[in-house]
Amino acid sequence: MSAAQTTTAMTGAYLPGDSTVVFRDTPIPEPGHGEVLVRTMASTICGSDIRAIYREHVGKGPEGYQGVIAGHEPAGVIERVGPGCVQFGAGDRVIVYHISGCGVCNDCRRGYMISCTSPTHRKAYGWQRDGGMAPYILAEEKDLVALPDELTFVDGAQVACGFGTVYEGLQKIGVSGTDALLVVGLGPVGLAALMLARALGARPVIGMDVVPERIRLAEELGLADHLVHAGEEALSKIRDLTGGHGVERAVDCSGADPGRQLAIRATRKWGKIAFVGEGGSVQFSPSPDIIHDQKTIMGSWVTSIWRMEELVELLVRWKLHPEDLVTHRFTLDRAAEAYELMAGGKCGKVAIVFDE
């Protein structure tokens, strides 16, 4: 236990936007009405943190970083509850859905606080309100998902963003045992896609990346039936692995133009493609690439809180542990090393862990 716990202050990590981490002391918050104080147990680093905050503050609107404590993938234990909480209590293990919405717009009512339309009440943890890179996090009770004992805190932290995002994308395109599935881009989100697609029954599950270290990691983890290196022959290799047809379902987690093109072209007639990777653009020819082959491309952004609950239940049933994708663990005081490693893009998931 840190001395901070016996006092009223704690140290949080902030991202000034020049590829560094800054630590600042801040009061431990007191939960108000409908709020809980969560003792952080795990807080994982997301590709979005690197892309939109760590290197420079490029995010706008929902991705605009407002100088708060970083970290939008937290899990922990409730330390104190404020007045008016109805379901959760002290000692409960929880995941924090990483956006707090207004609760009353149409998107919030669908459970998609990620898409909350309130310009003043929508606040993402780690972007517009304090996040998980601190010993405590103040959260709204309505943003919590119960974390069952079968799952670890690092499992929970990954559900808070990456795994939830992947599960949503796979549900949108509908993945089952009748599908061969391609995942383009094998960062932590792509690895999660391989893991969940296989659990949903897809086979073969094929992964592709340009970075040899990522291919190697996917191989070590045994997450794919086939791994393909990006390049001129990737498309014909994927066709060869699928009887010449291509895959029924593809998920792009690369966010890169050639990756997205491959996801589209490696998908067979009537197939469906989910775009999950953010940023960039894509060049394709609608008629030959999608219209004449009756293909569907769907965009998918994070998930809803009910679907996150559903995923938690399924992870327990499937005996899957998102923590398996974590290749590096750091304590909070070493957060600078953690972000630097993640920014290098050659590792699996990077986790900040507390009290280990």
50 forms part of the interface with Zn ion (CB under 5 A): no
The CB-of-124 to Zn ion minimum distance in angstroms stands at 9
Cβ-based burial of 266 (10 A; exposed 0-12, middle 13-18, buried ≥19): buried
Work out whether 116 is an interface residue with Zn ion (CB under 5 A): yes
Residue 108 contacts Zn ion per CB under 5 A: yes
Residue 156: enclosing H or E segment and its boundaries? helix 153-158
Task: Show contacts with Zn ion in window 29-48 (CB under 5 A).
Answer: 46, 48
Q: Which residue(s) pair with 139 in the sheet?
A: 36
Q: How far apart are CA 190 and CA 171, in angstroms?
A: 15
User: 254 or 261, CB closer to Zn ion?
Assistant: 254
Interaction of residue 115 with Zn ion, rule CB under 5 A: no
Under the binding rule (CB under 5 A), the answer on residue 22 touching Zn ion is no
Q: Is 298 in the site for Zn ion (CB under 5 A)?
A: no
Task: Please state the closest distance from residue 99 (CB atom) to Zn ion, in A.
Answer: 9
Q: Which of 29, 76, 101, 207 binds Zn ion (CB under 5 A)?
A: 101
The reply to whether 100 sits near Zn ion by the rule CB under 5 A is: no
- Which x/- pattern, by CB under 5 A, does the window 160-189 give for Zn ion? -x----------------------------
Smaller CB distance to Zn ion: residue 108 or 274?
A: 108
Cα-Cα-Cα-Cα torsion 58, 62, 68, 72, nearest 10 degrees, comes to: -100
Which residue's structure tokens are 């549900």?
Answer: 171
Piece of 31-39, 156-164, 202-210, 271-279 that binds Zn ion (CB under 5 A): 156-164
End-to-end CA distance of the chain: 10
Among 4, 77, 102, 341, binds Zn ion (CB under 5 A): 102
Closest to 210 in 3D by CA, of 302, 286, 277, 164: 277
Output the CA–CA distances (angstroms, integers) from residue 187 to 89, 214, 254, 275, 297, in the order listed.
35, 7, 8, 14, 21
Output the DSSP codes for 116-142.
---TTT-EEBTTTB--SSSSEEEEEGG
For Zn ion (CB under 5 A), the number of binding residues is: 9
Q: How far is the CB of 232 from Zn ion (least distance, A)?
A: 32
| Residue 165 beta carbon to Zn ion: minimum distance, rounded to whole angstroms | 7
What does the binding site for Zn ion look like in residue numbers (CB under 5 A)?
Answer: 46, 48, 101-102, 105, 108, 116, 118, 161
